[in-house]
Structure 1
């Protein structure tokens, strides 16, 4: 007799989550508290200062170009400069405001007394072919911290799987079983794997909301690599209950567990410069903040009523599923009157980062497509102008690379024109004197210095904050290690910046050519790749660097010197990619204390607990039964069926039904389980495991060995 297993999900409680009409302004669902004059003054002072910087830079650039008259090519250079300089000016002023805000927060640490919430919270962990051992260790670490502070029963934990790999799916079931056994009555663990990953992560969360969301008042959305301290989780709930107008509260995650050099570099930059940037953004955008898709709490009713995503007209990459759904969901919540708040003062929010340049490229390709889709969303009716700014910033974060590249190419063209093309000494208009094409070289040098200074303001202020704070300085390894870390970060970032610019340009070009990015699982730890693969992936970057060097050298040594940083990064793209993705080099930097962060000096308790639990979960999940072993065990079959949801809950298209029909035909024709497993493709087997009646068909087949024939 088999044991009765707990179902994967709670009882159904259906509710509607209508897709929003982007062409129609909705009725307000909540009233945001009017901003004070102080808030208005802060916002307009910041924007005014950024506009003044833009005006100064534009005037200086025009003065450089207009010394001997302005040609169409010089006007093009001026336009490109203005379109790129404006964003770094805004970032610089925002960082200055963030620096002041961070200094205040250091003097006044956050305190919070535990309370008893009125509402219930579900912690959602969407995952797609992720390592179940890491997921399980993270969940247990967070739950154990909540147990220690008496708040474990506030939260339910829901793993929402879109995993396609059959082996990974069985490992997820094993992880859920282990969690339930270890945590017992301390909390509730739920699990659901969808048959079809319709609309990707956003669709997964939306389906949960429609079927089970009404059980809860709040949703904490995490990524598969996220961690949150008990203090931060409970504080998010507290702030939601204290502010009935809050629709979403977003934390600023800190990067942890970087193993390769590029991961450690991102981790250090995020920790030292990130708080300045995040606080600056919070300073002028709240309560029209933004959502980054994870490590945030959402008011469930507001989300379901106001943030249902429509499908964009047309085909991918610009149409179909909204990929960068988070920016749009934040904009829709604010459109309905709900506050969207960036909680820049909450420290206990963590995530991991890609381990190599090529993994960054894969992630950025997906983000680039999602952000460029916002071109179709930014004009939606009723959006707050700050929400439009968030969307525009996301678009420009990728379009700025082609603009910078165009600016460099126009500059090179002007230099080549001056050397190889005979100037027009007399123009169309009558003049007694020839028109000489000239630029103001001393002013150009001053403008370059000004641009670099503004570009580095966030880094300078973030470094200054750490250098001035005894606690932060010691936690980053002391004065000498911190100084070495800052220099290392600046040099390595400058070296890989041209590579990332070309990667972003390639992503934009690919999208404009109509290519969809797809949805690939992300690597988390090892960023190393074979040299032949690196050479193939970076071949165009290297050739571009060589070509740029030849063009500059043929013109002048001065131009070669000006372009040397870009040339260096591109020509050495392959070795730079190999070195920055190496675990060995990353480990060496960790040993000597370069790029050290406070979280490495003293690991937060939730991070340390996860690291302690991980080896046990890896050992237990490594012995997960295979499909054949599962089919031979009535106990495991019963457990699997209990964790498998009713397929009627999903909205299947005809294309998906065709896959199910093909799998069913193979099962009907198979003479044994072994034969069926040979015939079924990985995709079909994944579908069978997620469909109860197909799985039962597979179980019902006789078990016998295939003949030698």
Structure 2
């Protein structure tokens, strides 16, 4: 293998168009930094819905708190009962807000399809970048999805307004070269006129936020807007073109977010999430979309962003202190939305826009792994609550994210408080008469009948958003038929509620553990997500959930010894914990999910009538996988394919040199091993992943590797 002269093919990236993106201050702000509105007539604050939400929330919390107080006030309120009341109010306010928001969403969607396909505009005037950040993902899936997206846009006649960028932060050297192979194959499939580009960063500085920032500061000046994808995102041409048209029609819009619906899922757990996303999600999204108005949030993908707004207002500083609360901002999307809104740009949602899709973790353990990173990112937002100049709803978004994880330990503390009260009443002798004069003894007692009523009301408020979503779904004929008909949809909803109730206590402990670890100062890493269907080895499941099951056994025995009524009160939690191991095993089981699909349960309309883009993305991904782009060793692939070797050299950053005197250990070790190796197989056997990465970045070392013969038996490292 020898490197030939550069072929007459397009560069992997277009000429740079730099754009400044300064880090935004957090501790200082003045109103003169807020931009003037270009179209103030479009700016309407939804005061009616906000007043309704605020009034409904306050009323629900006051009524719930009053009823809980009446439950515990019998015989006087002890310290533990005050704690139970406080924890109840915190948890009840959380579900009450979701309930009131769902009411708004229900009336916003009543009589309408939950989602609808927009008509494409007659023309566009903007230049848009489709940006997909990738990190150690399966190349065939990612590049196949981008091909499907680009071809849909081209069929609509808008290809001239969209350039596609796959910006890689991949650290695995074999996956990096696989990405380059997939990129070359993608360009061949789309033809020479397609504007599809690829860039790999040598250092994944600042992770995903830094990846996007690098794109904006180097190429952002050439584009009006960018549509951000995640590695599992998929958006139809209609949806993308509609977002660009919406941006053009609203010159004050900084971010327009869509509602990504979960598709392509087949395991039991993933199908449960998929069904919930499709049936309940639109009502919840419509509700927050209405009362958030133009003070909305951003979820990091499946959204369009004005380049000027992002560069001028979305630059992220590092936080003071060390991780997990200091350093790099992890859940950057919330923060970018808040800072862009602070600049005077609108951030809002189009929840009814059809054609925005994503995937979800295939099992409970996969969700827990992703959740650990999200937990740290959201808890880190406590340091951002005092940021100067933020709008009230931006702070509410931070609080919402923080409490989405603190709710689990609060729920756990509430259960423990209830157990402590039961223990107190069972085993601790009450102090019948205190030092103060009283006619009756003071000891903890409950109004059991009122407690049962309050429990039923709380469960009704918790489930109500799902019922609202189910009603809207059933009212639409196409959605109803696409989910297997009314009867199967209702049965699926009941099954989803049962499964979610069983999964909930497991996630309570998982999230509580994550919160306690983060509070103890343990930071999380940045690992790629497992996206494929398939179960996890049983020993890993038992290791992860063994202590959940043990806690369930202890709780059951303790509750039975204290009072049977306590076991009845905690039965949903106890059942979920006792079944933690089989539930987790079943969650990632592909056969169980497919069995439900064959029975017509947990169906969504996008399965009955599969979106063409989903079919195309799958087919293109399989074609790329069939070419072997996912599996080959990086050095073997370069050694066997002269064109790939040549194109890899062209894609390496130009003009980057090591400062004199600065020694890079990985490069030095790679140089020593590649020089001493007698064959390519021997070199591959000796090189560590970091050394291989250093070699792949170095043209001189690559030239040495190209001269090695292939196929000789490798000798053990150090035996020469």
**TM-score when scaled to structure 1?**
0.95
Who is 2:158 aligned against? 151
12-21 vs 103-112, which moves further: 103-112
State the secondary structure of the residue aligned to 2:305.
strand
> Please, which moves more after superposition, 621-630 or 241-250?
621-630
Are 1:526 and 2:533 an aligned pair?
yes
SS in 2 for 1:642: helix
* 2:15 corresponds to 1:8: no
User: CA separation of 1:597/1:704 partners in 2, compared to 1, >3 Å: closer, same or farther?
Assistant: closer
Q: Which shows bigger deviation, 100-109 or 539-548?
A: 100-109
Match of residue 21 from structure 2: 17
Alpha carbons of structure 1 residues 349 and 71: separation in structure 2 relative to 1, 3 Å: same
Deviations 1:148-192 (A, max 9, x none): 211122111111111122221121111111111111145211111
Deviation at 1:49, TM superposition (A): 0.9
Q: 1:578-593 residue pairs with structure 2 within 5 A?
A: 578-593=585-600
Residue of structure 1 in register with 2:645 after alignment: 637
| Contact 1:282–1:342 (Cα < 8 Å) also in 2 | yes
Q: Distance in 2 between matches of 1:107 and 1:21?
A: 40
Match of 2:445 among 438, 443, 461: 438
**Secondary structure at the residue paired with 2:499?**
helix
The alpha-carbon deviation at position 311 of structure 1 amounts to 0.9
Q: Name which of structure 1's ranges 481-490 and 436-445 shifts more when overlaid on structure 2.
A: 436-445
Structure 1 distance, partners of 2:87, 2:663, is: 46
Q: Distance in 2 between matches of 1:72 and 1:324?
A: 38
What are the residue-to-residue correspondences of 1:56-71 with 2, within 5 Å?
A: 56-71=63-78
Residue in 2 that maps onto 1:423: 430
- Residues 553-595 of structure 1: CA distance to partner in whole angstroms, max 9, x if unpaired? 1111111111111111111111111112101111111111110
Offset of residue 107 of structure 1 = 9.1
Deviation at residue 318 of structure 1 after TM alignment: 1.2
SS in structure 2 at match of 1:341: strand
Give the match for residue 107 of structure 2: 100
Corresponding position: 1:226 with 2:233: yes
- Do the aligned partners of residues 645 and 29 (structure 1) sit closer, same or farther apart at CA in structure 2, a change above 3 Å counting? farther
Equivalent-residue separation in structure 1 for 2:639 and 2:114 (angstroms): 61
- Cα distance, 1:402 vs. partner? 0.0
CA-to-aligned-CA distance 1:679-705 (integer Å, 9 cap, x gap): 321122123324445544544668795
* CA gap 1:647/1:429 in 2 versus in 1, 3 angstroms: farther
Contact 2:118 2:238 in 1 (8 A): no
Cα distance between partner residues in 2 of 1:623 and 1:80: 50
Q: CA deviation at 1:118?
A: 2.1
Aligned residue number for residue 28 of structure 1: 34
Matches of 2:253 and 2:376 in 1, distance apart?
29
Give the 3-state SS of the residue equivalent to 2:540 in structure 1: helix
- 1:686 corresponds to which residue? 693
CA-to-aligned-CA distance 1:607-650 (integer Å, 9 cap, x gap): 12223333222201358764134135443221111222337499
Cα deviations by residue, 1:393-437 (Å, 9 ceiling, x for unpaired): 000000000000000100111111111111111123212332243
Alignment match, 1:168: 175
Q: C-alpha distance in 1, partners of 2:436/2:225?
A: 71
**Cα distance in 1 for residues equivalent to 2:115 and 2:302:** 24
For the 8 Å contact 1:170–1:624, the answer to whether it is kept is no
Matched, 1:574 2:581: yes
Residues 227-242 of structure 1: pairs in structure 2 closer than 5 A: 227-242=234-249
For 1:204, the equivalent position in structure 2 comes to 211
Deviation at 1:77, TM superposition (A): 0.8
Q: Which residue of 2 aligns with 1:51?
A: 58
Q: Does 1:404 align with 2:411?
A: yes
Conservation of the 8 A alpha-carbon contact between 1:6 and 1:642: no
How far the C-alpha of 1:38 sits from its partner, in A, is 7.0
Task: Judge which range, 669-678 or 86-95, deviates more.
Answer: 669-678
Moved over 6 A (4+): 34-38, 700-704
Q: Distance in 2 between matches of 1:639 and 1:403?
A: 55
Q: Within 5 A, what are the aligned runs for 1:234-273?
A: 234-273=241-280
**Structure 2 vs 1, CA of residues 589 and 305 (structure 1 numbering), >3 Å: closer, same or farther?**
same
Distance across 2 between alignment mates of 1:696 and 1:337:
53
**What is the rounded CA distance, in whole Å, between the counterparts of 1:551 and 1:332 in structure 2?**
50
CA distance in 2, matches of 1:123, 1:555: 60
Is the contact made by 1:153 and 1:186 (CA closer than 8 Å) also made in structure 2?
Answer: no
Q: Residues 664 and 379 (structure 1 numbering): CA distance in 2 closer, same or farther, change over 3 Å?
A: farther
SS of residue in 2 equivalent to 1:566:
helix
Alpha-carbon contact 1:18-1:304 (below 8 Å) kept: yes
Structure 2 Cα separation of the partners of residues 503 and 629 of structure 1: 41
Assess if the C-alpha contact under 8 Å between 2:114 and 2:472 holds in 1: no
Cα pair distance change 1:16/1:666, threshold 3 Å: farther
Q: 1:691 to 1:346 in 2, by over 3 A?
A: farther
1:646 paired residue number? 654
In structure 1, how many angstroms separate the alpha carbons of the residues matched to 2:241 and 2:44?
31
Structure 1 unaligned blocks of 5 or more? none
How far does the alpha carbon of each residue in 1:299-327 deviate from its partner, in whole angstroms, 9 at most, with x for none?
01110111111111122111111111000
Residue of structure 2 equivalent to 1:628? 636
- Farther off after superposition, 630-639 or 558-567: 630-639
Alignment of 1:599-618 (within 5 A): 599-618=606-625
Q: Is the 8 A contact 1:324 1:367 kept in 2?
A: yes
* Greater mean alpha carbon deviation, residues 494-503 or residues 676-685: 676-685
**Counterpart of 2:500 in 1: which secondary structure?**
helix
CA-CA distance at 1:656 after TM superposition = 11
Is the partner of 1:24 in helix, strand or coil? coil
Task: Give the count of matched residue pairs.
Answer: 707
- Report the CA distance shift for 1:428/1:695 in structure 2 as closer, same or farther (over 3 A): farther
Deviations 1:416-472 (A, max 9, x none): 111111111112321233224322222111111111111111111111112233222
**What TM-score, normalized to structure 2?**
0.94
Rounded to whole Å, the distance in 2 between the matches of 1:511 and 1:337 is: 34
Whether the 8 Å contact between 1:95 and 1:276 is mirrored in structure 2 is yes
C-alpha deviation, 1:655, in angstroms:
11
Q: CA deviation at 1:30?
A: 4.6
- Structure 2 Cα separation of the partners of residues 338 and 689 of structure 1: 43
Aligned equivalent of 1:538: 545
- Is 1:549 the equivalent of 2:593? no
- Report the 3-state secondary structure (helix = DSSP H, G, I; strand = E; otherwise coil) of the residue aligned with 1:456: helix
Distance 1:5 1:222 in 2: 27
Q: Give 1:37 deviation, angstroms.
A: 7.3
Taking structure 1 as reference, are residues 86 and 419 closer, same or farther at Cα in structure 2, changes over 3 Å only? same
SS at match of 2:301: coil
Return the alpha-carbon distance in structure 1 between the equivalents of residues 261 and 396 of structure 2. 24
Alignment partner, residue 467 of structure 2: 460
CA distances 1:366-416 after superposition (whole Å, capped 9, x unpaired)? 100110110111111111110000010000000000000000100111111
SS for the counterpart of 2:40 is coil
CA root-mean-square deviation: 2.4
CA distance, structure 2, for counterparts of residue 390 and residue 539 of structure 1: 35
Distance (whole Å) between structure 1 residues aligned to residue 677 and residue 21 of structure 2: 42
Determine the C-alpha separation between the residues in 2 that align with 1:318 and 1:145. Answer: 42
Residue in 1 that maps onto 2:341:
334
3-state SS in 2 of match to 1:538: helix
Determine if contact 1:289/1:342 at 8 Å carries over to the other structure. Answer: yes
SS in 1 for 2:570: helix
What secondary structure sits across from 1:540 in the alignment? helix
